[in-house]
Structure 1
Amino acid sequence: MVLLLVSVTVLHLVTLAMLFTAILEKSVQALMVLTVVFSSVSFLVFLGQLFTMSTGGLFYFTGLCQICAGLTDFAACLIFTFHRKEVLDEARESSTSHFGYCFILSWLSMPLLVVSGVLYIHLRKKQ
Structure 2
Amino acid sequence: MALLLIFVVMLHLVTLAMLFIATMEKSWWAWGDIETSDLWHNCMFDNATQAWLCSSQDETDWLQAVQALMILGVVVSSISFLVFLGQLFTMSKGGLFYLTGLCQIVAGLSVFAAAVIYTFQHQEILQDTREVVLGHFGFCFIMAWACVPLLMLSGMLYVHLRKRA
Alignment TM-score, normalising by the size of structure 2: 0.73
Task: Give the aligned partner of residue 3 of structure 2.
Answer: 3
Rg comparison, structure with higher value: 2
Distance 1:23 1:88 in 2: 17
Could you list the runs of 5+ residues in structure 2 that have no partner in the other structure? 25-37, 40-62
Counterpart of 2:126 in structure 1: which amino acid?
Answer: L
Query: After the TM superposition, which residues 38-117 of structure 1 pair with which residues of structure 2 at under 5 Å, given as runs?
Result: 38-90=76-128, 92-95=129-132, 96-117=134-155
Percent of matched pairs sharing the same residue: 63
Spell out, residue by residue over 1:3-45, the C-alpha distance to the aligned partner (whole angstroms, 9 max, x if none).
Answer: 0000000000000001101112227211100000110010000
Counterpart of 2:112 in structure 1: which amino acid?
Answer: F
Aligned residue pairs: how many?
Answer: 126
Task: Give the aligned partner of residue 123 of structure 1.
Answer: 161
Distance 2:76 2:149 in 1: 15
Instruction: Please give the secondary structure, in 2, of the residue aligned with 1:54.
Output: coil
Query: Retained in 2: the 8 A contact 1:88–1:98?
Result: no
Provide the aligned C-alpha RMSD in A: 1.2
Could you list the runs of 5+ residues in structure 1 that have no partner in the other structure? none
Deviation at 1:122, TM superposition (A): 0.2
